[in-house]
Structure formats: C-alpha cells, structure tokens
Amino acid sequence: MKGCQVSLSLADVKKVAMLARLQLSDTELERMTHQLGQIVDYVNQLAELDTESVTPLSHAGELVNVFAEDKPRPGLSRAEVLSGAPKQDDECYRVPAVLGE
C-alpha cells in the first residue's frame, strides 16, 4: 500500500451518511468532510511505511479457536429485553412498517 494516499470527498461523506442513515445538513456535511478528512490523513501516515513483507493481521490479539459449548443458558426476560424500546406491545418491538419491498 506504500504511496497509496486516500482522500475524502463531499460525495463520499454524503454516501457514508446515507449508509449510516444520518441526515446531515449542508453545514454538517462540510464540517464532517473536514473532520473525517483529518482522520483519513492521519491514517495515511501509515503509507510511509514499507509493509511489503508484513502479513495482514485479522485480529490484534493472538488468540484463536475460542469456542463455547452448545448448552442453553437463560437470557433476558421479555419485559427486560423490550424495556429499552421506544415502542413495543409487551410481545414484540413495534417499528415503522417494513413491507419487504
């Protein structure tokens, strides 16, 4: 990746905002483009290093193969799990209509 500099355009930020379901005003978009751009520039510093012979890491830790046995354990009660929802009917969460279209 040496020398591969990434920069961020307003259009990129608009798209990312859409994918994150964030509605940003024009002022906010501009501010975000600037701030996110700074983060990208910071990460771009890595491009100065020669990583040709370095194997990409999947995980910062060195652990592998962490498994749990397939034995059920009690979870949350329905009242507990629904308690944080803005809208619910004691059985299910209620959300604006999803019509599968």
Partner 1 sequence: MREQPYEIVIGLEVHVQLRTRTKLFCRCSTEFGQPANTQTCPVCTGQPGSLPVMNRDAFQLSMKTALALHCQIPEFTRWDRKQYYYPDLPKGYQISQYDLPMSCDGWLEICDSQGVFDPKRVGIIRAHLEEDAGKSMHDETSGRADSRIDLNRTGTPLLEIVSQPDLRSAAEARAYLDELKLLLQYLDVSDCNMQEGSLRVDANVNLHLDEPGGVIATPIVEIKNLNSFRAVERALEYESQRQYEVWLEKGVKKGDIPKQTRGWDDQLEVTRAQRHKEESSDYRYFPDPDLVPVVVTPDEVERVRATVGELPAALRLRLQEEYDVSEYDANVIVNQGRDFVGYFVEVADASGDARRTSNWIQQEILRRLNELQMSIRQFPVTAAALAGLVKAIASGELDSSRGRDVFGRMFEHGESAAEAMQSLGIVSVDAGSLRSLCEGLLAENPRVVAEVKEGKQKAVGALIGQAKRLNPNVNPSEVREICLELIAQQ
**Which residues contribute to the site for partner 1 (CB under 8 A)?**
19, 21, 58-61, 63-73, 75-78, 81-82, 87, 89, 91-101
Q: Cα-Cα-Cα-Cα dihedral of 78, 84, 85, 90, to 10°? A: 30
Minimum Å gap between C-beta 41 and partner 1 is 20
Nearer to partner 1, 26 or 59 (CB): 59
Distance CA 52, CA 63 (A): 24
**What 3-state DSSP class applies to 78?**
helix
Minimum Å gap between C-beta 77 and partner 1 is 8
Nearer to partner 1, 21 or 26 (CB): 21
Instruction: Report the amino acid identity of residue 66.
Output: V
Tokens of 47: 């491009």
Nearer to partner 1, 5 or 63 (CB): 63
